[in-house]
Structure 1
Amino acid sequence: MPSAEFHSRTTTVRGLPTHDLHAAGPGGLPIVLVHGLAVSHRYLMPTARALATRHPVLVPDLPGFGKTGKPRFAYDVSAHAEHLAAWLDTLALPRVCLAGHSFGAEVVARLAVHRPDLTAAIVLAGPTTDPAARSRRALIGRWALDLFVEQPWQAPVLARDVADAKPWRVLATVGHSVRNAIERDLRRLPVPPLVLGGSLDPVAPLLWRTEVATMTGGVAVTIPQAAHNALTTSPRRSADAITAYLRTRMSDVVAVARSRPGPR
């Protein structure tokens, strides 16, 4: 199947130029891929391209990252979620699949809780932060371990993203991440999520991902021989897992709709 063509766009949202790449795909439920705290849309593009042969896909840059405008302060989880919701409203999108990776999973969880009207499905890929590592020192230590199991070809992409965001913003966002108790949002998600992660991931390890799936009534899928950046290094398997989840999720929605009594 030929690859879908992605287009760059900048939309002014709450006075901030907000960049995304998007592909129309063949139709179906739109998927919004949300990046983590030190990076941008760039590292998500392998999975975005794999998904775009099956669904419309949008990959925004959060405020301060990638090609989106740079506020003078680092947004916390709530501010990012509010901005992402305003961006979706500006684009007048219908309900979507919100798919967040790492810190992006925290943003997606907060957005889904506060805007269930925008949320048809949820993917939490390598969600942070595991309560067992909820401090700057512990989280940075886990990322250091991840460097030993990631594929080295990613380094130039990640270095460019950190340079765009500036190290101070990355460190400030680490602080926002470890101060955010994601489980408060997880217990209130409007739909059961897919919890996705690599078998080698030390940042969001299997034990934590299993706890997230149990807490949310979701399903956990582990990608063999992948580390924290599974959406970069295992795009086909990640896309397959997301597509399978969406197929089941949409079937459940249709079944519930058909079971409701019609007008009398």
Structure 2
Amino acid sequence: MREESAFAGRWTTVGGVRTHDRHDCRAGGLPVVLVHGLAVSHRYLMPTARALAGRHPVLVPDLPGFGHSDKPRRAYDVSRHAAHLAAWLDALGLSRVCVAGHSFGAEVVARLAVLRPDLVAAIVLASPTCDPAARSRRALVGRWFADLFVEAPWQAAVLARDVADAKPWRVLATVGHSVRNAIEGDLCRLPVPPLVLGGALDPVAPLRWRTQVAVLTGGVSVTVPAAAHNVMTTSGRRSAAAIAAYLRSSSTRPAPVSA
């Protein structure tokens, strides 16, 4: 998965943490920030990022502890990641964006949207964790193992590199943060209805759970055929098309009225 030269790398120091991102901001329109999951980095989101870049500015950060960003001594929980992401957006002067989180990243962007609704114009929850039916370390890890049998094997090298960067202890600690986070509390407080995106074969965030998320949030659910949990890796063009369509639809809705 070679990153095209149009995507540039950058480090921004936020709260003492050097935070890396890849970005291509040549297009106009609402910026889209793609947020990765708990064992990975910006790398596996690049297929969607590249497909979307011709239509929107796209930024793909590495959360603290992952990818090329600094590695704090302790794994951040959902709230701390959300606060860091908000501070990073402030540092870049981005005041209204679409936050698109995948897997654990969906938990982070949901919390960000609740903490800082002023930053959020649109929300994408892709393969969101954690389904209440699998809210334990054993159950969640079991679903990931099941996902291995339906994912495209060419992803293995990218994912192995990401886990090596993060270190297994950080991945396991972040699994614990995920299963202790009841995302429903944030979902019912989102400032805008989200796009709930997922793969038809996903055992980690199955259609039943994604449908519940869409109902709870008043959002729209889109299922990508033949894709599994890593829908934004293996189906980048279709994921980007769904996000672009959602953003076109969102731009025609009336703005929410503040109380």
Percent of residue pairs identical: 77
- The structural deviation recorded for 1:10 is 0.2
Describe the SS at the equivalent of 2:81: helix
What is aligned with 2:17? Answer: 16
Distance across 2 between alignment mates of 1:204 and 1:42 = 21
What is aligned with 2:115? Answer: 114
What is aligned with 1:232? Answer: 233
Amino acid at match of 1:53: G
What is aligned with 2:221? Answer: 220
Distance across 1 between alignment mates of 2:25 and 2:183 = 32
Distance across 1 between alignment mates of 2:35 and 2:51 = 16
Query: Contact 1:100–1:124 (CA<8 Å) still a contact in 2?
Result: yes
State the Cα deviation string for residues 151-185 of structure 1 (Å, max 9, x = none).
00000000000000000000000000000000000
**Which deviates the most, 244-253 or 103-112?**
244-253
Q: Which of the two has higher C-alpha Rg? A: 1
- Long gaps (5+) in structure 1: 260-264
**Structure-2 change in CA distance of 1:21 and 1:117 (3 Å):** same
Describe the SS at the equivalent of 1:93: coil
Distance across 2 between alignment mates of 1:25 and 1:240 = 18
What is aligned with 2:183? Answer: 182
Counterparts of 1:127-166 in structure 2, within 5 Å, are 127-166=128-167
State the Cα deviation string for residues 8-52 of structure 1 (Å, max 9, x = none).
000000001000000013200000000000000000000000000
- The structural deviation recorded for 1:94 is 2.4
- Long gaps (5+) in structure 2: none
Distance across 2 between alignment mates of 1:54 and 1:189 = 25
Query: Contact 1:4–1:23 (CA<8 Å) still a contact in 2?
Result: no
What is aligned with 2:65? Answer: 64
Describe the SS at the equivalent of 2:29: coil
Distance across 2 between alignment mates of 1:216 and 1:4 = 37
TM-score, length-scaled by structure 2: 0.96
Distance across 2 between alignment mates of 1:104 and 1:213 = 17
- The structural deviation recorded for 1:208 is 0.1
What is aligned with 2:193? Answer: 192
Amino acid at match of 2:30: L
Distance across 1 between alignment mates of 2:80 and 2:160 = 25
Counterparts of 1:45-64 in structure 2, within 5 Å, are 45-64=46-65
Aligned residues: 254
Distance across 2 between alignment mates of 1:120 and 1:139 = 30
Amino acid at match of 2:251: M
- The structural deviation recorded for 1:251 is 1.1
- The structural deviation recorded for 1:4 is 7.7
Describe the SS at the equivalent of 1:228: coil
